[in-house]
Amino acid sequence: MYRRRNNNDMNTKADFLDLLQDYVEFPVNEIPTSQPFKAVSGIDSFTLIELISSLEDRFGLTIPDCDLCNFNTIDDIVKYLDTRKAA
Protein backbone atom coordinates (compact mmCIF):
# COMPACT_ATOMS: atom_id res chain seq x y z
CA MET A 1 0.00 0.00 0.00
CA TYR A 2 1.33 3.42 -0.92
CA ARG A 3 1.56 5.94 1.92
CA ARG A 4 1.65 9.52 0.82
CA ARG A 5 4.35 11.48 2.61
CA ASN A 6 3.40 14.87 3.92
CA ASN A 7 5.58 17.98 3.86
CA ASN A 8 6.53 17.42 7.50
CA ASP A 9 8.08 14.05 6.54
CA MET A 10 10.06 15.65 3.73
CA ASN A 11 11.25 18.51 5.92
CA THR A 12 12.41 16.10 8.60
CA LYS A 13 14.31 14.03 6.07
CA ALA A 14 15.87 17.10 4.46
CA ASP A 15 16.83 18.51 7.87
CA PHE A 16 18.33 15.19 8.93
CA LEU A 17 20.32 14.78 5.71
CA ASP A 18 21.54 18.37 5.97
CA LEU A 19 22.77 17.67 9.49
CA LEU A 20 24.24 14.30 8.51
CA GLN A 21 26.32 15.94 5.77
CA ASP A 22 28.46 17.49 8.52
CA TYR A 23 29.45 13.99 9.67
CA VAL A 24 30.25 12.16 6.43
CA GLU A 25 32.88 12.82 3.79
CA PHE A 26 30.73 12.14 0.73
CA PRO A 27 27.36 13.40 -0.53
CA VAL A 28 24.54 12.15 1.71
CA ASN A 29 22.40 11.48 -1.35
CA GLU A 30 24.72 8.50 -1.98
CA ILE A 31 23.51 6.81 1.23
CA PRO A 32 20.60 4.42 0.57
CA THR A 33 17.88 5.40 3.04
CA SER A 34 16.71 1.83 3.56
CA GLN A 35 20.15 0.24 4.11
CA PRO A 36 21.87 -0.22 7.50
CA PHE A 37 22.79 3.32 8.44
CA LYS A 38 26.08 2.86 10.29
CA ALA A 39 27.48 0.44 7.72
CA VAL A 40 26.78 2.59 4.66
CA SER A 41 27.62 5.95 6.27
CA GLY A 42 30.87 4.83 7.87
CA ILE A 43 29.99 6.66 11.10
CA ASP A 44 31.70 5.28 14.19
CA SER A 45 30.20 5.16 17.69
CA PHE A 46 31.74 8.44 18.85
CA THR A 47 30.53 10.29 15.77
CA LEU A 48 27.08 8.74 16.21
CA ILE A 49 26.91 10.21 19.73
CA GLU A 50 27.80 13.64 18.32
CA LEU A 51 25.16 13.23 15.60
CA ILE A 52 22.50 12.27 18.15
CA SER A 53 23.37 15.33 20.24
CA SER A 54 23.03 17.50 17.14
CA LEU A 55 19.68 15.86 16.33
CA GLU A 56 18.45 16.65 19.83
CA ASP A 57 19.48 20.28 19.41
CA ARG A 58 18.05 20.65 15.90
CA PHE A 59 14.70 19.02 16.66
CA GLY A 60 14.33 20.10 20.30
CA LEU A 61 14.12 16.51 21.55
CA THR A 62 15.78 14.30 24.11
CA ILE A 63 16.54 10.92 22.57
CA PRO A 64 16.83 8.21 25.24
CA ASP A 65 19.71 5.76 24.81
CA CYS A 66 17.23 2.88 24.68
CA ASP A 67 15.72 4.34 21.48
CA LEU A 68 19.05 4.30 19.63
CA CYS A 69 18.83 0.57 18.96
CA ASN A 70 15.91 1.38 16.62
CA PHE A 71 18.06 3.67 14.44
CA ASN A 72 18.91 1.08 11.80
CA THR A 73 18.30 3.07 8.61
CA ILE A 74 17.86 6.71 7.64
CA ASP A 75 14.18 5.92 7.07
CA ASP A 76 13.95 4.60 10.66
CA ILE A 77 15.54 7.76 12.04
CA VAL A 78 13.25 10.07 10.04
CA LYS A 79 10.17 8.09 11.10
CA TYR A 80 11.30 8.26 14.74
CA LEU A 81 11.88 12.02 14.54
CA ASP A 82 8.49 12.61 12.91
CA THR A 83 6.75 10.53 15.57
CA ARG A 84 8.50 12.36 18.41
CA LYS A 85 7.84 15.79 16.85
CA ALA A 86 4.15 14.98 16.53
CA ALA A 87 3.86 13.88 20.17
Report the C-alpha gap between 64 and 32 in whole angstroms.
25
Is residue 60, in this structure, part of any structural domain at all? yes
Q: What is the pLDDT of residues 1-41, one digit of tens each?
A: 333 344 455 699 999 999 999 999 999 988 899 999 888 88
Statement: residue 54 has pLDDT above 90: yes
Q: Give the tens place of pLDDT for each residue, 71-87.
A: 999 999 999 999 998 87
Residue 54 counted as domain residue: yes
Spatial distance between the Cα atoms of 63 and 81, rounded to a whole number of angstroms = 9
Supply the range of the domain harboring residue 51.
7-86
Q: How many CB atoms lie within 10 A of CB 63?
A: 17
Residue 1 lies in a domain: no
Give the CATH number of the domain where residue 62 resides: 1.10.1200.10
pLDDT of residue 46: 92
Q: How many domains does the chain have?
A: 1
Give the per-residue pLDDT at 5: 41
Q: How far is CA 32 from CA 22, 40, 53, 75, in A?
A: 17, 8, 23, 9
